[in-house]
Structure formats: structure tokens, C-alpha cells
Amino acid sequence: DYIVAARALGAGTGRIILKHLLPNCLAPLLVYGTIMVGSFIGAEATLSFLGIGLKSPVVSWGIMISEAQNYIRVSPYLLFFPSAFLVTAVLSFVMLGEAVREALDPKLR
């Protein structure tokens, strides 16, 4: 509606894009991007754990968890620490996205 109103007032295409469209699209894109970073980290770790993603010489939390399964009785910390860091990283990006959404949402002000 605001684009139609700006067009009715005689605003040009460049002004509509810079003044109306970009400020209203930037916040949802930023929120979506931060949440998707956490999803991508989890997806990469899952694929590496299953053997579909990265292979053994590369350092990945999924590979570390997969290789730690063989030593779970001897040293369980080899499984615990990569798993804990993976969960912390994914959860922190998702929570960051939610915090940015709450900060930039005009309906909550």
C-alpha cells in the first residue's frame, strides 16, 4: 500500500526502492539469514556424521562425533565436547535471529 501511495504522490522508481522497499525488506532478510546460518551448521554436521558430507581429513563437528563413537567407553569427552559445541553454536544463531527479529519488529514497539 505504501508503494502505491508513493507512486500516486509522484515518486520515482529509484526513490521508492531506496526509501520504501529496502528499509522494509532488510529486517526480515537479516533475521532469516541469521536463523539459516544455524540451520546450515546443523545440516553440514548431520551430513558429515552420516558420511555424505565432508570426509575425514577435514575438521567438522559431524566427523568428530562420528569418529568418537568408537571410543565412547574409553573417553566419552571425545563425543561430549563436539556435541556440546555444535548444539551451542546452532542454538546461539537461532537465538540471535530471534533477538534481531524482536529488536527490528515494528509491531512490538
- Each domain of the chain, given as residue ranges in start order, spans 26-104
Q: What is the pTM of this model?
A: 0.76
Rounded to whole angstroms, the maximal C-alpha distance in the chain is: 74
> How far is Cα of residue 7 from the mean position of the Cα atoms in its chain?
35
Q: Tell me the per-residue pLDDT of 64-82, one tens digit each, with 9 for 90 and over.
A: 999 898 898 999 998 999 9
Distance CA(11)–CA(103), nearest Å, equals: 30
Distance CA(36)–CA(42), nearest Å, equals: 10
| 100 sits in which H/E element | helix 77-104
pLDDT over threshold 70, residue 89:
yes
Closest-CA residue to 23 (of 104, 109, 108): 104
